[in-house]
Each structure stands twice: as structure tokens, then as C-alpha cells.
């Protein structure tokens, strides 16, 4: 019976239940590793090994490979965020000068819609693949291949749901071009964008961070290079949308074709590994938490585009574009922590301290720069975008609590604290989305863009406060379980 001691062959004590280490999930153990686990150890050796396992510090945690790879991954992703930000700002600056604000507003609304639908189609797979398709084994290739199929189906379904139910005004750009072709085009862009996320995760787990950076750089260059094409076209908003979203989608499809060059395998659907069921369960749990955690990030722009006109939405897009790139920094550091958490003997607590200091420090510096330089937005984009400069400082300030919530959530995921995961994400969603639904609609002071800015800042502060308390409680519970484990001489040691 799982979870109880059983008398195995040769009268050796074995254990059939799960061993909770707080590190990687229980993947398929190699036969040699399993035999080594089954070897009987003396109670003294077991207790000594358990003390080493749950120790929060240690030489390995400070200077080991876990920190080196975490720093490398975080640094590359932060640089990637900067490259992505520069590409997005260059695109916005050029379009703001060459095109009408209405055309830019329609294109940015469609692009925002793609981001939202891509988030719906994620199914929690980027998080699950980081934990269950993290090596070059056949099992990882099978799990990843099924992830591709699930992503494709979800992308088509989510695209139809969004365009049919939400039916944003900007979707007229698609229908004016072609009633059927417009939907197919939108769904393909969503699918490719979703593929780019799981391809990035696969490259991260292979520690090929340079490939992620190269993909981001190529996408940024392509966006800017395409802008001059079709300036006089009657479907200019559609073209601008494709220039914004198309390169990302193409990189996703291309990534699927090339990713196996670094994994040393192929896309295959069998044999199904033992970890597949655990991966599916982990994906579902984290899909719910990801929906809640990322809902404000993707839903707030949709709330704005539904309730304001195209010209006002273009101003929000400029401000949100800057905020989104800055907020990607703690998310990228969290993704690196998720991929590296507990690897090579590193301890998650010390990795967490490093990641938190880096993320909060960078977001604090970005906030100061934004407060001092908000006038640059008006100088660069023109007087028509002064409302973007007005809301930008408060939205950037929210980056500090966002960094805290993001990394506390990552710790909860790595440690498999499902209750903490749900509490943090639900709080973040409710604290931002509910005020936004109240404040954004309407006109006058405190509504529209001002309402979106206020909901974003206050909601993030509330969420960070709750995340801090929940993490403290979770750590105490983990420490108590560790003490109990140290006193059990029969607990197996891997």
C-alpha cells in the first residue's frame, strides 16, 4: 500500500510511498538509483543524511552549481527582457510617428488579445514541462510531444472562445479582411506564440539560455524591420498587428522544428513514462494557479481595450509596454528559479534569497528611473501620449510588490505547497481584477486609465502582503516536517 513500509525481496525494508524532499518532483528513477535507495542504512547514517538534506545553508548552497546556473539563467533572461523592451519601444516609436493613433490602437488591441488568449491556452504546461521534461530522456521527449498537441488544441479552442464571447471592437480588423481567414490567422498566431513559451522552457531546462536570448533578439529585429512595409495598405491595422505578433509565432513554430537538435531526441508519443500522470496532475494544478497569477497581467489590458476607444487604448499600450517588459524581469528570474530549484545540491532557501534580492533591487531601480524620466515618454511619442506618461510611474511602482509575489509563488511551486500556491494566486487576481472592473468603466477622474493604474498598484501591494504571510507559514510547516523526519530512523534516504 503506497505510503507504508513493505517487506521487499530478500527481507530488505523498502518504501513505496513518495519521498518529500522539497526539491524536484518524483521522476522516473533509474534502476540503479532505485537499488541504491533500497540499500539498508543504519539509523545514525539516515539521520545524518536527513540533516544534510534539510539544512538551509551549506557550502554547496552558497558556491555550488545551483547558484551559478540560476545567476546565468536569470542574467540572460533579464538581458532578453531588455532586448525585447528595446524592440517593442522602437516599434511603438516608429508607428506613433508614421501611423494614426486609431490604427495603432486597433493593432495593439489585437496584439493584447493574442497575449490574453495565449495565456488561456497555456494549460500550465510551461510550469509542468520545467519540472517533468527537464532532461534528454525518452520520457521527457514523450511528455513534451504530448504538450505540443495539447497546446495546439487549446490555442484553437481559446481563440474561438475569445473572439466569439468577448468579441472586441478591434476584431473587426480581422473580419474586414476575411471572415474565415481572419479567425485562422488569429488562431495560428496564438498557437505559435504558445509554442514559443514551451520551446523556451525546454531550452532553459537544457541550460541553453543563449538560444532563448537569440530568439528574443530575432523577434525584436523582425518587428522593427517589417514596419515600413505596406504603409499605404487599406488593411494597415492588420499588418501592424502581424508585425507585432507574427515574429513571435513564427519563432514558436520554428523552435519546435529545431529544439530536438539540442535535446538529442525526437518528438514521440510513446512509450508513456510513469511520470506522465504526475505531469498532467501538476499541469492542471498549476494551470489553475497560473490563470489566477497571470490573470491581472493579461486581463487588465483586455478590460481597458473593451471600455476605452482605440486612441486611448494606444496610450495605455505604450505605458503597458514599458511596464510589461519591466515586470518580465521578476517573472524571468522566477522561471530560472523554477528550472534550477534544488538542482546540483543547491538549497531552495538560499536560491530564493539571491533571486529576491536581484528582482526587488532591479524593480526598485526601474521605479526610480521611471519617476525621474517620465517626461521622456512625451518627448519621444508626442503630446498625444501624455496620458501614458501620467499613469506610468504608479504602475512601475507596483513592480516591487509584484516581484515579491512572483518569487514567493515560485518557491511554493518548487516546494509543492499547493495551498500556498492557490492562496497567493487567488489573492493577486481578486485584488487587481475586481477594482479594475469597477474603476476602468466610466469617465472622469479616477476612471479609465487612472482607474487601471490605481487597481494595478493597490492590488499588487495587497497580494505581496498576503504572499509574505503565506510563505512564512509554509516555511514553518516545512521545518516542522523536517524535524519529524530527522527523528524517524526508518525514513529512506535517496
Of the candidate ranges 73-77, 128-132, 135-139, the one whose mean pLDDT is the lowest: 73-77
Which range among 276-285, 350-359, 426-435 has the greatest average pLDDT? 426-435
C-alpha cell of residue 21: 524532499
Give the C-alpha separation, 395 to 327, whole Å. Answer: 10
Q: Is pLDDT at 28 greater than 70 in this prediction?
A: no
Mapped onto helix, strand or coil, the DSSP state of residue 23 is coil
Task: pLDDT band for 53, please (50, 70, 90 cuts).
Answer: very low
- Spatial CA neighbour of 26 closest among 279, 284, 344: 279
CB within 8 A of 274, min separation 6: which ones? 28, 139
491 falls within a domain: no
CB within 8 A of 242, min separation 6: which ones? 185, 189, 226
100 vs 9, higher pLDDT = 100
Domain that holds residue 234: 59-486
253 falls within a domain: yes
CB within 8 A of 99, min separation 6: which ones? 231, 236, 240
| CB contact at 8 A, 321 and 89 | yes
Q: Is pLDDT at 35 greater than 70 in this prediction?
A: no
Q: Is pLDDT at 188 greater than 90 in this prediction?
A: yes
CA angle 373, 358, 436 (to 5 degrees): 60
Q: What count of residues does the chain have?
A: 494
Q: Is pLDDT at 227 greater than 70 in this prediction?
A: yes
Mapped onto helix, strand or coil, the DSSP state of residue 309 is coil
Of the candidate ranges 105-109, 130-134, 217-221, 366-370, the one whose mean pLDDT is the lowest: 130-134
**Around 113, how many Cα atoms within 13 Å sit in the side-chain half-sphere?**
32
Q: Number of structural domains, the chain?
A: 1
494 falls within a domain: no
Q: Is pLDDT at 65 greater than 60 in this prediction?
A: no
426 falls within a domain: yes
pLDDT digits over 193-220, tens only? 999 888 888 887 777 777 888 888 888 8
pLDDT digits over 251-288, tens only? 999 988 888 887 777 777 777 777 777 777 777 776 77
**pTM for the whole thing?**
0.64
pLDDT at 224: 87
Arithmetic mean of pLDDT, 107-134: 80
210 falls within a domain: yes
pLDDT at 484: 52
pLDDT at 50: 41
Amino acid at each position: 500500500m503506497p505510503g507504508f513500509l513493505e517487506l521487499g525481496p530478500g527481507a530488505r525494508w523498502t518504501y513505496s510511498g513518495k519521498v518529500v524532499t522539497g526539491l524536484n518532483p518524483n521522476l522516473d528513477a533509474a534502476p540503479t538509483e532505485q537499488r541504491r535507495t533500497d540499500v539498508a542504512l543504519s539509523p545514525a547514517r539516515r539521520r545524518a543524511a536527513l540533516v544534510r538534506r534539510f539544512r538551509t545553508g551549506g557550502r554547496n548552497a552558497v558556491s555550488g552549481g545551483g547558484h551559478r546556473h540560476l545567476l546565468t539563467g536569470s542574467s540572460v533572461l533579464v538581458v532578453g527582457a531588455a532586448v525585447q523592451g528595446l524592440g517593442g519601444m522602437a516599434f511603438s516609436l516608429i508607428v506613433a510617428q508614421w501611423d494614426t493613433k486609431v490604427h495603432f490602437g486597433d493593432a495593439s488591441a489585437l496584439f493584447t488579445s493574442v497575449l490574453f488568449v495565449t495565456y488561456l491556452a497555456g494549460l500550465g504546461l510551461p510550469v509542468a514541462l520545467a519540472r517533468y521534461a527537464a532532461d534528454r530522456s525518452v520520457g521527457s521527449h514523450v511528455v513534451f510531444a504530448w504538450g505540443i498537441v495539447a497546446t495546439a488544441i487549446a490555442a484553437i479552442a481559446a481563440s474561438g472562445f475569445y473572439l466569439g464571447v468577448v468579441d472586441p471592437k478591434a476584431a473587426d480588423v480581422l473580419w474586414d479582411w476575411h471572415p474565415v481567414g481572419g479567425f485562422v490567422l488569429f488562431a495560428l498566431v496564438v498557437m505559435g506564440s504558445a509554442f514559443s513559451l514551451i520551446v523556451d522552457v525546454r531550452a532553459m531546462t537544457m541550460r541553453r539560455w543563449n538560444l532563448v536570448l537569440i530568439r528574443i533578439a530575432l523577434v525584436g529585429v523582425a518587428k522593427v524591420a517589417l514596419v515600413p512595409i505596406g504603409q499605404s495598405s487599406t488593411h494597415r491595422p492588420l499588418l501592424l498587428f502581424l508585425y507585432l505578433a507574427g515574429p513571435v509565432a513564427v519563432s514558436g513554430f520554428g523552435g519546435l522544428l529545431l529544439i530536438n537538435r539540442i535535446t538529442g531526441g525526437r518528438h514521440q508519443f510513446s512509450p508513456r513514462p510513469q511520470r506522465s500522470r504526475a505531469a498532467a496532475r501538476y499541469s492542471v494544478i498549476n494551470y489553475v494557479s497560473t490563470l489566477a497569477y497571470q490573470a491581472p497581467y493579461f486581463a487588465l489590458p483586455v478590460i481597458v481595450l473593451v471600455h476605452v476607444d482605440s486612441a486611448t487604448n494606444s496610450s495605455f499600450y505604450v505605458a503597458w509596454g514599458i511596464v510589461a517588459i519591466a515586470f518580465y524581469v521578476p517573472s524571468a528570474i522566477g522561471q530560472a528559479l523554477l528550472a534550477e530549484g534544488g538542482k546540483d545540491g543547491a538549497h531552495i532557501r538560499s536560491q530564493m534569497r539571491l533571486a529576491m534580492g536581484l528582482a526587488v533591487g532591479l524593480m526598485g531601480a526601474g521605479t526610480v528611473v521611471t519617476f525621474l524620466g517620465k517626461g521622456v515618454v512625451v518627448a519621444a511619442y508626442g503630446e498625444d501620449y501624455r496620458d501614458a506618461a501620467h499613469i506610468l510611474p504608479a504602475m512601475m511602482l507596483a513592480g516591487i510588490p509584484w516581484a515579491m509575489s512572483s518569487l514567493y509563488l515560485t518557491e511554493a511551486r518548487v516546494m509543492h505547497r499547493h495551498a500556498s500556491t492557490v492562496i497567493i494566486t487567488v489573492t493577486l487576481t481578486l485584488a487587481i481584477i475586481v477594482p479594475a472592473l469597477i474603476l476602468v468603466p466610466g469617465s472622469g477622474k479616477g476612471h479609465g486609465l487612472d482607474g487601471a493604474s490605481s487597481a494595478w498598484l493597490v492590488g499588487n501591494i495587497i497580494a505581496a502582503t498576503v504572499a509574505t504571510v503565506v510563505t512564512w507559514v509554509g516555511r514553518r510547516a516545512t521545518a516542522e516536517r523536517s524535524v519529524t523526519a530527522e527523528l524517524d530512523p526508518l525514513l529512506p534516504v535517496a
